[in-house]
């Protein structure tokens, strides 16, 4: 178990949640915290590779891998999607009640007042985890879950490589997939997305999210395979990676293409803390960082439903200064971590345990039940644990 990965994943999930509440957009470098999703993918690639590189050797093992990944991802994904639908409609009902009772309501808050019912294709997209695979023209429902979709199908790519290729060929395949994902993301972004219209060059999701995930995931997987051959001082790599991330965030507004360097720096950071040594690793191993890591998948998927409750607060605090915004962010973070603890305890952990037990009864597994926490899904993002 690499404890530093757990804490790093939790911090990344919380930063993405705070990015989506919107108060950090006034600080130019923090407008690009959406890039933390790529950190989820890199960690997920390392963790999945470290657990399954030599363990998926035939189709029964592949099916077991898919069942356990599904049992890890789907229960909370379905619950958070339902929570989003319920919260949106509760807000609509509250607006209707305010209008009927004659309570003061801001003009911009009056629309829309129609109930939101998801369309059948949207529900099928979520249930089949295809809503982030370029089949739809927009994000919908619990929007950040697009990364869970792309990560699931990246798992399948990895599993197929393990079945059909030997060790050296598998390593070469990871490199080729990495290059293909990077080329598709970069070319597609530069040609079809304008960095001034969207948040930035790497701000792709429903359209180019899959190659973006493939790029960063297989960077993490390749770093796991090649990392032991490097005898570099990891403390200095930690400093270099963090310094590079800070510098790029400072200049990314002027040079949007710098976003393409983040998967590389994230991979260096993950490699540098993979031994649980060094100042960054020690920070990620602290108690509260481990709590965030344990709840990272819930933090990632539950922050949008919770954010719906904070929209009226955000509107009222708009223009009142950074102090009020920071206070709101702090309250949001505390409540989100508490809610995530409940969803982890009553949804994530029990469902994962039951699926593991069920799959173990179906077949005496060639895959040992390793209790090693991983990423994703952060998977995306959140990045859930491998088993």
Task: Check residues 85 and 230 and name the one with the higher pLDDT.
Answer: 85
| Angle between helical axes of 322-343 and 59-101 (0-180°, round to 10) | 130
Q: What is the pLDDT of residue 31?
A: 80
Q: Average pLDDT over the chain, rounded to whole?
A: 86
pLDDT over 60 at 89, yes or no:
yes
Asked which of 27-36, 96-105, 201-210, 294-303 is least confident by mean pLDDT, the reply is: 96-105
Kindly give, in sequence order, each residue whose CB lies less than 8 Å from that of residue 252, ignoring residues fewer than 6 positions away.
29, 32, 200, 258, 259
Task: Check residues 343 and 310 and name the one with the higher pLDDT.
Answer: 343
Kindly give, in sequence order, each residue whose CB lies less than 8 Å from that of residue 38, ignoring residues fewer than 6 positions away.
202, 212, 216, 262, 263, 266
What value does the mean pLDDT take over residues 356-382?
52
Q: What is the pLDDT of residue 364?
A: 47
**CA 299 – CA 87 distance, rounded (Å):** 17
What value does the mean pLDDT take over residues 159-179?
95
Q: Which residues pair with 316 in a beta bridge?
A: none
**CA 74 – CA 376 distance, rounded (Å):** 12
Q: What is the pLDDT of residue 372?
A: 34
**CA 245 – CA 267 distance, rounded (Å):** 11
Angle at the Cα of 8 from the Cα atoms of 7 and 12, rounded to 5 degrees: 115
Q: How confident is the model at residue 102 (pLDDT cuts 50, 70, 90)?
A: low
Rg (CA), the chain: 21
pLDDT (tens digit, 9 = 90+) per residue, 226-248?
Answer: 987 777 788 899 999 999 999 99
What value does the mean pLDDT take over residues 62-75?
95
pLDDT (tens digit, 9 = 90+) per residue, 187-201?
Answer: 988 887 655 445 578
pLDDT (tens digit, 9 = 90+) per residue, 276-290?
Answer: 999 999 999 999 999
Asked which of 87-96, 131-140, 345-354 is least confident by mean pLDDT, the reply is: 87-96
Closest CA to 126 of 75, 160, 86: 75
């Amino acid at each position: 178990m690499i404890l530093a990965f757990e804490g790093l994943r939790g911090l990344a999930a919380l930063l993405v949640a705070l990015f989506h509440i919107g108060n950090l957009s006034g600080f130019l470098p923090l407008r690009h915290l959406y890039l933390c999703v790529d950190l989820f993918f890199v960690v997920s690639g390392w963790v999945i590779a470290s657990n399954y590189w030599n363990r998926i050797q035939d189709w029964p093992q592949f099916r077991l891998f898919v069942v356990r990944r599904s049992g890890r991802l789907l229960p909370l994904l379905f619950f958070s999607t339902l929570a989003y639908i319920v919260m949106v409609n509760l807000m609509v009902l509250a607006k209707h009640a305010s209008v009927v009772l004659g309570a003061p309501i801001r003009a911009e808050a009056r629309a829309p007042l129609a109930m939101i019912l998801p369309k059948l294709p949207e529900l099928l997209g979520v249930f089949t985890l295809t809503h982030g695979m370029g089949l739809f023209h927009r994000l919908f429902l619990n929007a950040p879950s697009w990364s869970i979709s792309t990560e699931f199908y990246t798992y399948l790519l990895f599993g197929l490589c393990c079945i059909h290729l030997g060790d050296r060929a598998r390593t070469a395949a990871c490199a080729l997939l990495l290059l293909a994902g990077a080329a598709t993301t970069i070319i597609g972004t530069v040609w079809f997305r304008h960095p001034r219209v969207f948040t930035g060059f790497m701000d792709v999701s429903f359209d180019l999210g899959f190659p973006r995930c493939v790029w960063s995931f297989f960077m993490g997987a390749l770093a796991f395979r090649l990392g032991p051959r490097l005898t570099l001082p990891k403390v200095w790599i930690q400093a270099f990676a963090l310094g590079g991330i800070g510098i790029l965030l400072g200049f990314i507004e002027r040079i949007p293409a710098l976003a393409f360097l983040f998967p590389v720096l994230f991979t260096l950071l993950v490699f540098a803390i993979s031994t649980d040594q060094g100042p960054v690793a020690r920070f990620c191993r602290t108690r509260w960082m481990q709590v965030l890591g344990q709840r990272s998948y819930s933090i990632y998927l539950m922050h949008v439903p919770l954010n719906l409750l904070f929209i009226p607060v955000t509107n009222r605090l708009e223009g009142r200064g950074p102090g009020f915004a920071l206070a709101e962010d702090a309250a949001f973070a505390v409540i989100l971590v508490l809610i995530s603890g409940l969803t982890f305890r009553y949804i994530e952990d029990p469902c994962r345990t039951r699926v593991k037990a069920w799959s173990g009864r179906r077949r005496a597994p060639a895959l040992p039940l390793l209790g090693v926490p991983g990423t994703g899904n952060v998977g995306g993002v959140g990045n859930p644990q491998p088993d």
